Amino acid sequence: MLKRLVYLALCVCAPLSAVAQAAPHVGAERLQQLAQQPFWISLGHYETGKLGGWRSYVDDPKFFLAADGAHEPKAELSATLAAIYKPLQSSDDPDKHAQCVYPARTRWLRDQLQLTDLPAVDCKAFKQWFSDVAPDSAVLVFPAAYLNSPSSMFGHTLLRIDQADVKTNHTALLSYAINFGAYIEGSDNSILYAWKGLMGGYPGLFALVPYQEKLSEYRSLENRDLWEYHLNLSAEETGRMVEHVWELKQIRFGYFFFDENCSYRLLELLQVARPGLDLLKQFPLTAIPTDTVKAVKASGLVEKIDYRPSRERELLERAKPLSQDEQDWVLKLSADQRQLKEADYLALPAERRALIQDAAYRLERYRANGEERDAGRAQRSFELLGAISKNPPPELDIQRPGLPEDGHDSRTWQAGLGTRGDRAFAEYGLRMAYHDLNDNAYGFPLGAQIEILQLKLRQYEGNHWQVQQLDLATIRSLTPRTELLQPWSWQVTGGLERVLGKHGDENLVSHVNGGAGGTWKLGDDLLGFALGTVRVEHNNDFNALVSPAAGFNTGLLWRNPLGNLSLEAKGDYFTNGEVRRTLSLNQQWELSRNLGLRLSAQREFSQLASPQNEVMLEVKWYHY
């Protein structure tokens, strides 16, 4: 593998110095001027380095023609100019000529310098590839968050490249998608995989894959809705972008979950498509895919938005109008297709049977997700399809949920005033990302929470400052169980927090805890949940270095006209005898998209101290 890379690098780089004289003479000043043009900077994926100068995001020597090309846009430009002028020997493979390896660079230099005397090279492989992709327009695709996978709230974005006939023929399923993702080789165990993914341990590569494959990955396997933003790029602009993607085939980038991720790379591509855009300025620190969508929308690129519901949502919508009895039939049919011939079943009205057997088929396919083909299941699905074909159900009409990019911004600034016992305090907080159960709800699923890095500082009367809370990450997933689907609800969190203790009422402890249980839909906008929890804690009041506890966490979550309300009870029963319980109430008042007011009240109980009450009113500003 490595050998191959080195070999490739040699093929490309070695002959350059020898043929420099073939290139036309371009003055140093003109070269310098060209090398500073935004388009050239985009093609090389350069960014300004931390100590001035340039640095390329490309982490792969074979992408550069000049030895110092990763840092010197100008050197890379001269080397490119020389390389595209290299005469083609009869023994050479034309597809390895610089003109064929770098079609976007070649076209741009030819246009800028009016190069009329370039050697003619027949780039067969590139031409074939380009004419097969046949780029005409582009669509930014955003798979939305899936409730039972809160980390998917960060989402992903990819670009679909459509041919000219896609709109008239409705053949988006035949389009290709440009995907940027980490390249995972071998069989790392999964913890390592997540860690390396976050920390940049895997290289990032562009891939061109059938869109249909991506669709089934997201809609069926991951149960995520898809949003498709049709961009107003012209055929020429789209083509320019696809030409550049060819230059990036098998080229390695660094991949970091938070910034140098899929979204960032796609924004770069869009800037190649339309050089006037400056989408990247807005992402100095992190690029969360919804923010990408916002940036693309704000720059006027979006002309139309399509929505594709996930398979799970389709199943739940289909089952919605069914009565308890009818849902029982769904379960029976999906387990045993012979029930289709039962007299009791056939006694039901035909239009109800159409709904029941369609739901049963969808449930069967849902269960088959991620599984190997099973002959019994295939036979069941097949016979259900046969029944559907004789009595087709009406089309599903699924209402579009709120646009994800119109939800609140990802970072939150918080300021609150409150009293604890008889002491007043002010509290200041910053949360890097993203959403909790009570936050402004538009565009987010009810019952999903993911928070990364939250710090809260508290200032008591007498100017006494203290760290109140530091969360590294908090994830909660409260997915309602239904007759047909019984997902688990779960949560994990870890960090520093204050608890009731022997000395003073607030003792800073470090902890990790998690829980699992169930959530039930009690009304249209009302969820009830109950989870069993476990906790380990380091607490100076305890003798042991770490103390374990088991407990519960239960409550209600109500979406009301003001905002979300949560009512929770929690208990932790430590093995050392301490029992800690909390009752809390939180009501959000949604003032505007990026502004909220939250009232929190709680009462804490402990074996080590008398109960304490706390009330706080907090402003939440979602900004950036």
Partner 1 sequence: MKRILLGTLFAAVSLNAMAQAPGGPDCGWGNMLFEGQRGTPAHFLASTTNGTSGNATFGMTSGTNGCSTNSALTYGGKSWIAMNGMMDELSKDMAVGKGEALTTYAVVLGVAPEDRAHFAAVTHEHFTQIFSKADDTAEDVHTNTLNVLKNDPALAKYATQA
Query: Between 183 and 428, whose beta carbon lies closer to partner 1?
Result: 183
45 or 362: whose CB is closer to partner 1?
362
CB of 127 to partner 1, least distance (A): 11
Residue 448 Cβ vs partner 1, minimum distance, rounded to whole Å: 12
Closer CB to partner 1, 29 or 371, in the complex: 371
DSSP E strand stretches across 72-185 = 137-143, 158-162, 176-182
Angle formed at CA 20 by CA 14 and CA 25, multiple of 5 degrees: 155
DSSP letter for 542, please: S
Report the first-to-last Cα separation within the chain, whole angstroms: 42
Neighbours of 573 (CB within 10 A): 16
CB proximity list for 442: less than 8 A, separation 6 or greater: 402, 406, 407, 408, 590, 593
Q: How many CA atoms lie within 13 A of 308 on its CB side?
A: 19
In angstroms, what is the minimal distance from the CB of 392 to partner 1?
A: 4
Helices 28-35 and 73-84, packing angle to 10 deg: 110
For the bound state, the minimum distance from the C-beta of residue 371 to partner 1, rounded and expressed in Å, comes to: 6
Min dist. Cβ of residue 151 to partner 1 (A): 5
The amino acid occupying position 468 is Q
Handedness of CA 25, 26, 29, 31 (dihedral sign): negative
User: Running DSSP on this structure, what letter comes out for residue 561?
Assistant: S
Minimum separation from the CB atom of position 185 to partner 1 (A)? 5
Closer to partner 1 by CB, 306 or 328: give it.
Answer: 306
DSSP state of 121: -
For partner 1, the closer CB: 79 or 387: 387
> What does the block give as tokens for 298?
């704000």
Query: Angle at which helices 235-247 and 103-113 pack, to 10 degrees?
Result: 120
Residue 358 beta carbon to partner 1: minimum distance, rounded to whole angstroms:
8
User: Minimum Å distance from CB 4 to partner 1?
Assistant: 8
Q: Which of 605, 614, 616, 617 shows the shortest CA–CA distance to 578?
A: 605
- 537: closest CA among 582, 490, 586, 500? 500
Of 37, 121, 123, nearest to 85 by C-alpha is 121
- Tokens, residue 78: 């001269």
Nearer to partner 1, 377 or 603 (CB): 377
Q: Which residue, 479 or 547, has its beta carbon nearer to partner 1?
A: 479
Q: Report in angstroms how near the CB of residue 197 gets to partner 1 at its nearest.
A: 4
Which residue is listed with tokens 């042991």?
A: 544
Pick between residue 457 and residue 473 the one whose CB is nearest to partner 1: 473
The answer to whether the beta carbons of residues 224 and 144 sit under 8 Å apart is yes
CB of 79 to partner 1, least distance (A): 21
- CB-wise, 130 or 573, nearer to partner 1? 130
Nearer to partner 1, 209 or 305 (CB): 209
CB of 496 to partner 1, least distance (A): 23
Q: Which residues contact 72 (CB under 8 A, 6 or more apart)?
A: 54, 66
Amino acid (1-letter code) at residue 301: L
Q: Which two tokens stand for residue 34?
A: 């060209």
Q: Write out 310-356 in H/E/C secondary structure.
A: CHHHHHHHHHCCCCHHHHHHHHHHHHCHHHHHCHHHHCCCHHHHHHH
Q: Which is nearer to partner 1, 395 or 524 (CB)?
A: 395
